[in-house]
């Protein structure tokens, strides 16, 4: 089974019909036959981006869809993941990677994932394949 990491870039594109990557994200959502892997941190980033009162319902609907989909795995933010991500963050002062990015990269390494549903060039910098570029 194909497994890909899902970044907030994908969720924002999927939820916003005016996003330049929306059609691509919607097509992937309809046709992908595999497992999506994301993190609590990525979903927190999405929730934060949709915190405006007129957009909050979009995150609630996304949560319902995720809960109903057995092919989406959410990695919790355990202490060991937090420490590994903080270490990566500290060790790469030459990059503009967010802590959420670092958490994603650690998870991708741990899960042996090479592809991410994102257009974020930081994933490419970290050695992964961004599928929405």
Model confidence pLDDT, tens digit, residues 14-64: 999 999 999 999 999 999 999 999 999 999 999 999 999 999 999 999 999
**Cβ contacts of residue 45 below 8 Å, gap of 6+?**
8, 100
CATH code of 39's domain: 3.40.50.1010
Model confidence pLDDT, tens digit, residues 54-105: 999 999 999 999 999 999 999 999 999 999 999 999 999 999 999 999 999 9
For residue 92, what are its two tokens?
A: 């790469």
Report residue 133's pLDDT band, with 50, 70 and 90 as the boundaries: confident
Q: Is 48 exposed, middle or buried (0-12, 13-18, 19+ CB in 10 A)?
A: exposed
Identify the domain containing residue 47 by its residue range. Answer: 2-130
Number of domains in the chain: 1
């Amino acid at each position: 089974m194909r497994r890909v990491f899902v970044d907030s870039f994908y969720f924002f594109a999927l939820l916003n019909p005016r996003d330049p990557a929306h059609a691509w994200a919607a097509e992937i959502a309809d046709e992908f036959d595999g497992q999506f892997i994301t993190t609590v941190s990525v979903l927190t980033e999405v929730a934060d981006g949709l915190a405006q009162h007129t957009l909050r319902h979009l995150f609630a609907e996304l949560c319902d869809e995720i809960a109903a989909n057995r092919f989406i795995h959410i990695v919790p933010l355990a202490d060991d993941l937090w420490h590994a991500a903080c270490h990566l963050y500290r060790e790469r002062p030459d990059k503009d990677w967010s802590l959420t990015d670092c958490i994603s990269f650690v998870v991708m390494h741990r899960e042996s994932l090479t592809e991410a549903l994102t257009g974020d060039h930081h994933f490419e910098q970290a050695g992964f394949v961004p599928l929405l570029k």
